[in-house]
Amino acid sequence: LDTQQAVKLQAAKIVSWEAEHPLLSFKSHELLRERQGHLVGLGDGAGLQPWIKLFENSNALVDDISIPACAFETLAIRQNWAAEFPVVLVVDIGASETRFYVIDRQAARFMRKVPVGGDTLTKALTTAISTATGLLELNDIQAEEAKISGQLPPATSMGRDPAPHDAPADDRKFPQMPTLLRPVMERLSSEIIRSVQFYKENAGKQVEAVFLTGGTSQLTILRQDLEQALAWPVRLIDPFAGLEFTNVAAQNYARRNAARLAIATGLALAEKPSLSLLPRRLYLMKRLAVFMPRAVAVVLLGAFLPLLIIGTVMTNKIRAIKEDIRTLEEVTSEAAAQPGLYENRLARVAELTASLRYLQDELENQPIWSGVMNALAAAIPNEVVLTMAAYGVEEQDPHNLLLGGKVIAGAARFDDVISGLLTSLGSSIFFKRVMIINAQAAQENGELSTFLIQCELVY
């Protein structure tokens, strides 16, 4: 599919522009009749489409060089050219002309064309030259065949007698071919260098590779000569890289004509409907297929999300029940190992309950205890921690009160603290005969000094 067919395909999609701009359409017909128009633009804007229609209706030739640029941009994005070469020069060698496109990070930044192409190479091979066997002059058909095959046509087709029997029957070598094509090759190489230099001077960026496409780019001698003449890597564009074929015959045809199908493939892969060669229905199906996995994932997530939440809640409940079962099993195993443990603990609970009731009765029936507690709270200094208080433990003297405690580490002096505590208790109206029964001062840092004080309760 060449450029003109692509333009006509785009023009067929456009609504009548003359109906909306009748006056401008009439004036433009006279201006553009028998003229050739070159449109340079994005190729996908609304402003380009009326111009294409206007040129078509004026019997003028529309040559939109931005449409191939869009195709190469699409191939650059799909195949990620920028990963290896951020800036490349695409050389599209056609039959009558060669077009240059600078693709800078997957975007077309520069376009130009020169009147050098495959026909120029064919014309160069028709030059008459002298050989060892006589004058060699090829016509256009023979030159085209020699250009494609790299060899001379058969001797019979050139009107010559076959070679002698002592020589090969059909010596078709063409050693003069590089010499005949050298002027064209030098012209093409110089145009490539000019394009690269122009972009470097104006954009400040260096082209890093040259990508060839077009029917003429399939010539082996052309690629070899450019690789030797240029200082950049030279590669052929494979428009089908990364694509899979379901039909072997179609795959073979595509591989054989890959250079000719680069623009058509790029336009077919374009995501913009105004440039894509896909029918509208297939384009919509393509876009729908892109979002289909996400839509299916959302539907499945919405269906299974409640089940996921319920399963999580039930899992937590089961985990809590298992912990309770494990605790009960440990208690049961401990009780089984000590048969009297349960009875001992019940007896201890009963004893503590009786003591608690006794204390409650004492506090309720003996109002003096409130004053005693307040007096103790006022007498005990901050350096003392009271750990024990016992009353009525001695049968011969039931009114004695025993106070046990500790002096925290870091106090000034143990003797001074205990002396102050005895003085405070002795000055209270609730205590008399205050004396120290036992005292043990700490010998090292970090240890607590202990004491035991006895006093008689004024009752």
- Range with top average pLDDT, 30-34, 101-105, 348-352: 101-105
Largest CA distance in the chain: 155
Q: What is the structure's pLDDT at 35? A: 40
Q: Which whole-number Å values give the CA distances from 20 to 47, 49, 252, in the listed order?
A: 13, 13, 47
* Overall pTM > 0.75: no
Q: What is the structure's pLDDT at 43? A: 41
> How many alpha carbons fall within 13 Å on the CB side of residue 243?
19
Q: What is the distance of C-alpha 33 from the center of its chain? A: 53
Q: Is residue 258 within 8 Å of residue 239, measured between CB atoms?
A: yes
Q: What is the structure's pLDDT at 92? A: 92
State percent of the chain over pLDDT 70.
74
Mean pLDDT of the chain: 75
Tokens of 98: 């060669």
Answer yes or no: is pLDDT of 125 > 50.
yes
Rounded to an integer, what distance in angstroms lies between the CA atom of residue 148 and that of residue 143?
9
Ranges of each domain in the chain = 1-64, 76-278, 368-457
Candidate from 167-171, 343-347, 430-434 with smallest mean pLDDT: 167-171
In this structure, which topology does domain 368-457 adopt according to CATH?
A: Gyrase A; domain 2 (3.30.1360)
Q: Which whole-number Å values give the CA distances from 386 to 32, 137, 366, in the listed order?
A: 113, 127, 23
Multiple choice CATH, 76-278, 3.90.1310.10, 3.30.70.1520, 3.30.420.40, 2.60.120.10:
3.30.420.40
Please report which helix (H) or strand (E) contains residue 269, including its range. Answer: helix 262-269
Q: How many other CB atoms are there within 10 angstroms of residue 113's CB atom?
A: 18
Comparing 281 with 24, the larger pLDDT belongs to 281
- Range with top average pLDDT, 42-56, 72-86, 281-295, 372-386: 72-86
Convert the pLDDT of each residue in 172-187 to its tens digit: 677 788 888 888 888 9
